[in-house]
Amino acid sequence: MKRGWRLGAALIASGLLGLSAPMSAAAQQPIGQPVPPAAGTQSSMNLQVSELSPRVVTSADQNVTIKGKITNTSDRNIEQLRVRLQRGNAIGADPELRNIQNQETNFTGPFQDVSKRLEPGDSADISISIPITGPRGTLAITEPGVYPLLVNMNGRPDYGDQARLAAVSIALPVLSVPGGATARPKGSVPGVTLLWPLLDERPRHLPTTDGRTLLADDDLADSLAVGGRLFDLVKSVSTATQTNSELLRSICFAVDPDLLETVSKMTEGYQVRSTSGQIVAGKGKQAAADWLGLVQDLTNGHCVIAVPYADADLGALSRAGAVDLAQLAVTSSSIVKDVLSMQPLKGVYWPAGGTYDQRTLIDLANIDPANVLVDPAHLDGVEGSAPYVVNTQTANKVRALPIDSLVSDALASPVTAGRTGTSTVSDTGGSVQNGLAALVYRAAFDDRAGGQVLIAPPRRWMASGAELTQFLELTGELFNDGFATALSLNQEVNAQDGGAVPGLAFSPQDGAQEIPTQVTAEVMRINATRRDMLDSMAEDNTNTTSPNQLLGPIQYGLLRGVSTAWRDRVQEATNTVDFVDGQLDALRNLVVVNNPGRPLSLASGDSPIPVRIYNGLPVTIVVRINLSTVPGLRAEPIQDILIPPRGSAPRYIPAEVSRSGRFSVDVKLTTPGGTPLGEPVRLELNSTSYGIISVAVTGTAGAVLVLLVGFRIFRRVRAARAEEAKASEEILDT
């Protein structure tokens, strides 16, 4: 046992703990009197702990050593800087460990000088070592346990008194006291399962319509390369499990299909959109190939689960009614099988907020039986033991597998409020140490017998490679020394039902964390347009591109727009969705009406209007032609027209012109479902025909003219006859 823990303690030399703790003078815990800040000024210090040794105390260790740096971040000089270590009583319950920074410290070591004076902005190194046990000037630890350890930095700012200016709380596990007592494994030890998340910090793959692999930036190449975040996540497991197969058996890799697909395409060459908008070649082809090969080797024959594609927010999609997108996100686990050549665990879900609402659970159960890794704080009315059957009243069963929130929250909470309310622990190394301490407490010191410890670290874990390796190797030592056993997630998923729960608690606060409706509403609109375009397209045996191949990237792009990576980052989610919308618009604008650029002449009243439509899409599409309403022009009903890929088709629109002259008509294209295609085109028409009304008017006018002429002739004839009769009478009278 000593050998293993000595190895773990020695590894700290290669890693950074990285704890920092600024404290304002206004909120100091003074040793004497509080420091009154000068008017308009503020005094503060920043304490960074870069090394803690050992991480877990065993009988082989004599001293606890802490190294770091103190920085004067105030606008005043600080003098008489001193530091000491203090510790409290051993943790006896979960709440005490969760609130370790507020535990009383009743054992104090001696102060050690750090620097005589620090001006604003200056820094000084600190190094303090204190014996673990002994009668005087030590931490006085006599029994194994997990202890709160406080690094207390004192100083005297200008115009003030000596006071505590910064402090850091650290959880220190002690498995055996030098020359004293040693912890023994419990009679029934817990089974430990560790999720290992392989998710990118954010989606980067941009949808394109020409088959190119285009990324929003090239930061992923750095993450995949040696020393990068994703590289460290994989390399640390490879390093720590080389001689510990039990450790690897306890790990289940949680992978994002979008990340695997993106990295796989990067190995074939890819492009990046620079900040100036230019498209440049990506630099990470080889790094992508190396990383993907390492992941394939590491996951071969071991546990893997797939998060939804791009880690899409299933709750937000379900609430928006985007069932088809949610199903696509879930069923994209097939990508994991294709890339890793292995089948991930089916129907296992890890919600970002620790829970799903009832509607989302029902949607998931409509796909397959579901096992949800849930925060136990969202389990109400529990009966029996895990796994718990959730009452969803669906054909497929939903079960809840509770994670261990004590360990998981410690790993996920790098920022912790100090006793004064202003001190903080603000680095991922601190979270790893606190998580390790929580795991040691759970395995060796809490009152629970046996059980499962399902650890769910942050989805996008930012800890360094050294920290990750340290955590894994010390976890492996817990297995080796009998404090815990490795429990595969497969075993938990396949275990018999142990209890029941009415449902998962879902509060308004949980809903507020999801991707907001302003984003999902836009996603729904774009997806409806995509579906309508898909319905208007047809397969063509002569073409290698299918409608699904053309519009599939749009759908996956929408999933990236609702990634949980964008929670609390609404503008970035909006930008992602807007880019997808622009790509869909670009497809719509490839179907256009050719503008002849000159007026069209209509020789008669029933001359058809010639229109030529061009389809720039690589698939066949059905188009509907719409004419604007123009006085004097009546178009006949227009049938939809089928246009071949990258081809054009003439169309003669039957119309009746009832006036002559020059006039304009707008031609618009849509799908049969009403989605606009291209831009409206205005055609200029010249009509030389009188039309039916004009002919009728002319005929009527001619008839009236003939009638008037006839009437005039009649009057003249009658007048002439009257004159003749009058003349005859006059002759007879004479």
pLDDT tens column, 339-389: 999 999 999 999 999 999 999 999 999 999 999 999 999 998 999 999 999
Contact 64, 93 (CB under 8 A): no
**Same domain membership, residue 411 and residue 337:** yes
The answer on pLDDT for 15 being more than 50 is no
DSSP category for residue 665 = E
Model pLDDT, residue 23: 36
Read off the pLDDT band of 726 (50, 70, 90). low
The answer on pLDDT for 253 being more than 80 is yes
| Domain end marker among 527, 553, 588 | 588
Read off the pLDDT band of 535 (50, 70, 90). very high
| Domain end marker among 466, 496, 526 | 496
Helix (H), strand (E) at residue 96: helix 94-98
Token pair of 102 as six digits? 């507020």
The Cα–Cα gap between 503 and 510 comes to 15
The Cα–Cα gap between 347 and 334 comes to 12
Q: Which residue has the higher pLDDT, 428 or 131?
A: 131
Q: Is the peptide bond before 645 cis (omega within 30 degrees of 0)?
A: no
The answer on pLDDT for 323 being more than 90 is yes
Q: Which residue has the higher pLDDT, 284 or 732?
A: 284
The neighbour count for residue 597, using CB atoms within 10 Å, is: 6
The answer on pLDDT for 6 being more than 50 is no
How does the average pLDDT of the chain come out, rounded? Answer: 85
With respect to residue 358, please indicate whether it lies within any of the assigned structural domains: no
Token pair of 434 as six digits? 């606190």
**Same domain membership, residue 6 and residue 137:** yes
- Note the pLDDT tens digit of each residue in 226-240: 999 999 999 999 999
Contact 166, 223 (CB under 8 A): no
**Same domain membership, residue 343 and residue 233:** yes
Model pLDDT, residue 608: 78
DSSP category for residue 2 = H
Contact 348, 400 (CB under 8 A): no
**Same domain membership, residue 603 and residue 643:** yes
**Same domain membership, residue 543 and residue 605:** no
Instruction: Read off the pLDDT of each residue in 296-322 and give the average, rounded to a whole number.
Output: 96
With respect to residue 727, please indicate whether it lies within any of the assigned structural domains: no
**Same domain membership, residue 118 and residue 93:** yes
- Note the pLDDT tens digit of each residue in 453-476: 999 999 999 999 999 999 999 999
- Tell me the angle at which helices 405-412 and 428-440 cross, rounded to the nearest 10 degrees: 160
- How far are the Cα atoms of 447, 713, 721, 731 from residue 727, in angstroms, in the given order? 149, 21, 10, 6
With respect to residue 235, please indicate whether it lies within any of the assigned structural domains: yes
Token pair of 346 as six digits? 């089916």
Model pLDDT, residue 85: 93
Compute the half-sphere exposure of residue 628: CA atoms within 13 Å on the CB side of its CA. Answer: 12
The Cα–Cα gap between 148 and 128 comes to 17
With respect to residue 502, please indicate whether it lies within any of the assigned structural domains: no
Instruction: Read off the pLDDT of each residue in 325-333 and give the average, rounded to a whole number.
Output: 95
**Same domain membership, residue 553 and residue 637:** no
With respect to residue 393, please indicate whether it lies within any of the assigned structural domains: no
| Domain end marker among 549, 571, 588 | 588
Contact 167, 153 (CB under 8 A): yes
Number of domains in the chain: 4
The Cα–Cα gap between 560 and 580 comes to 10
Token pair of 218 as six digits? 């090239």
Model pLDDT, residue 603: 55
**Same domain membership, residue 229 and residue 109:** no
- How far are the Cα atoms of 284, 462, 675 from residue 226, in angstroms, in the given order? 11, 15, 48
- Note the pLDDT tens digit of each residue in 585-610: 999 999 999 887 666 666 565 677 78
pTM for this structure?
A: 0.84
**Same domain membership, residue 250 and residue 132:** no
Q: Which residue has the higher pLDDT, 406 or 32?
A: 406
The answer on pLDDT for 660 being more than 90 is no
The answer on pLDDT for 537 being more than 60 is yes
With respect to residue 301, please indicate whether it lies within any of the assigned structural domains: yes
Instruction: Give the CATH number of the domain where residue 639 resides.
Output: 2.60.40.10
With respect to residue 357, please indicate whether it lies within any of the assigned structural domains: no
Amino acid letter at 567?
R
Token pair of 261 as six digits? 């697909």
**Same domain membership, residue 424 and residue 290:** yes
9 phi and psi, to 5 degrees?
-65, -35
The Cα–Cα gap between 516 and 639 comes to 42
CB within 8 A of 313, min separation 6: which ones? 352, 514, 515, 562, 563, 564, 567
Domain extent at residue 8: 2-174
Contact 236, 468 (CB under 8 A): yes
Where helices occur in 267-404 by DSSP H, the ranges are 285-299, 314-320, 323-331, 333-340, 358-365
**Same domain membership, residue 599 and residue 536:** no
- Give me the percent of the chain exceeding a pLDDT of 70: 85
CB within 8 A of 201, min separation 6: which ones? 219, 223, 229, 460, 565
Nearest to 199 by CA among 410, 461, 456, 432: 461
Token pair of 360 as six digits? 């989302």
Look at the chain and count its residues.
Answer: 734
- Note the pLDDT tens digit of each residue in 193-226: 999 999 999 999 999 878 899 999 999 999 999 9
The Cα–Cα gap between 298 and 193 comes to 17
With respect to residue 583, please indicate whether it lies within any of the assigned structural domains: yes
**Same domain membership, residue 196 and residue 167:** no
Amino acid letter at 121?
G
Instruction: Read off the pLDDT of each residue in 181-190 and give the average, rounded to a whole number.
Output: 93
